[in-house]
Amino acid sequence: MYLIGVDLGGTEIKTGLVSKDKGIINKVAIPTEANLGAQKVAENIIKTIEIVAENNMDKIEGIGIGSPGSIDRDHGIVRYAPNLPFHNFELSRIIIEKLKIPTFVENDANAFALGEWYFGSAQGLKHFVALTLGTGIGGGVVSHGILITGKDGIGTELGHIIVDPDGPLCGCGSRGCIEAIASARNTARWAKEFSAKIPENKIVEFAGKVENIESKHVFMALEHNDPVAKMVVDKITDALAKAIGNFVHIFNPEMIIIGGGMSKAGKSLLDPIIEKVNFYLMPSFRNSFKILLSSLVEDAGILGASASAIYHSRSR
């Protein structure tokens, strides 16, 4: 028997046929075509499922869809999703009516946590936090073997933990959220700001010009011991260590898992966080947990979505 995992993004739909034992068997990616409306996006999701399933449709026991935004997981409704034309859209119902297979929709950050739980570094754990560092910052929390979602199903907005009340304005309207300081977008912003003061640096050299700077250029420059890159990485990892300190005090996890595009920086990102985090912890919490990078890498979205189908089918 198989699962289907759908990683739904604003520009691309990535879908995989997944075996619980062997992982991804087959996968495909096509444009989302969000500009053509919600129904077209749903049709494209169905198309990808049919492509990866091939002759195995009768062997699929569940479909999981990881979507950005606010999700009513009990009814398979996407209330709202940035960069997608969904407003209280009954996505599960449409898929079920067409394919006659149980379908579950989950917030993509929560799906990432579930993916780590079923397929990744958190297998066998009952208490962990999974943090995604990308254009924004999100995450999911499992406590006592249960995915924490809160009263309205929109809890654990980890990217909006405030670590500097006087810090930069966040897109949510608050100041000093961890997302406003340490996301990929804002890592690039710090690099641009610092480069305006110290224009001769490896970050600009790798990017070509200041306007082209991305977070990856910061970590490329860091490998060459560039002082501006060190300043940027020190700033974002200090903020991340503060946020992780908050998560540890609140949830008392066995593990913190860091994923998302920025996790590709590897130990250059991870080691400074590990070095700093104890400064922001009560003594009784120090060294009580592990901080690891995601083991799922590029397939985290598909595996997380398929894991959400496992989790929600069992919890109903």
Number of folded domains that form the chain: 2
DSSP 72: E
Q: What are the angstrom distances between the C-alpha of 46 and each of 171, 176, 281, 306?
A: 33, 40, 47, 15
9/67 Cα distance (integer angstroms) = 7
Could you tell me the CATH number of the domain that includes residue 22? 3.30.420.40
Could you tell me if 269 and 160 lie in one domain? yes
| Of 196, 295, 190, 299, nearest in space to 234 by CA | 190
Q: Are residues 173 and 286 in the same domain?
A: yes
pLDDT grade, residue 152 (50/70/90)? confident
The pLDDT of residue 126 is above 90: yes
Whether 315 shows a pLDDT value over 90: the answer reads: no
Question: Is the same domain home to 141 and 249?
Answer: yes
Structure tokens at 50: 């049919």
Q: Check if the beta carbon of residue 206 is closer than 8 Å to that of residue 198.
A: no
Instruction: Give 226's pLDDT tier (boundaries 50, 70, 90).
Output: very high
Residues 33 and 56 in one domain: yes
Go through the chain and tell me how many residues it has.
316
The torsion angles phi and psi of 127, rounded to 5 degrees, stand at -140, 110
How far is it, in rounded angstroms, from Cα 231 to Cα 225? 11
Same domain, 132 and 261: yes
pLDDT of res. 316: 60
Q: Bridge partners of 87?
A: 80
Tokens 């898929």 correspond to 95
Say yes or no to pLDDT of 96 above 90. yes
For residue 246, pLDDT over 70 is answered with yes
**pLDDT at residue 153 greater than cutoff 90:** no
Q: How confident is the model at residue 314 (pLDDT cuts 50, 70, 90)?
A: confident
pLDDT of residue 297: 83
Judgement on whether residues 202 and 66 belong to the same structural domain of the protein: no
Q: Do 131 and 190 belong to one domain?
A: yes
Considering only 39-53, 74-88, 241-255, which range has the smallest mean pLDDT?
74-88
Do 85 and 187 belong together in one domain? no
- Domain span at residue 79 reads 2-115+299-314
User: What is the number of other CB atoms lying within 10 angstroms of the CB of residue 239?
Assistant: 24
Q: Which residues contact 212 (CB under 8 A, 6 or more apart)?
A: none
Same domain flag for 36 and 179? no
Per-residue pLDDT averaged across 212-218, rounded? 97
Strand pairing of 12-19 and 2-8? Answer: antiparallel
Percentage of the chain lying above the pLDDT 70 cut: 99
φ, ψ dihedrals at 177, nearest 5°:
-60, 150
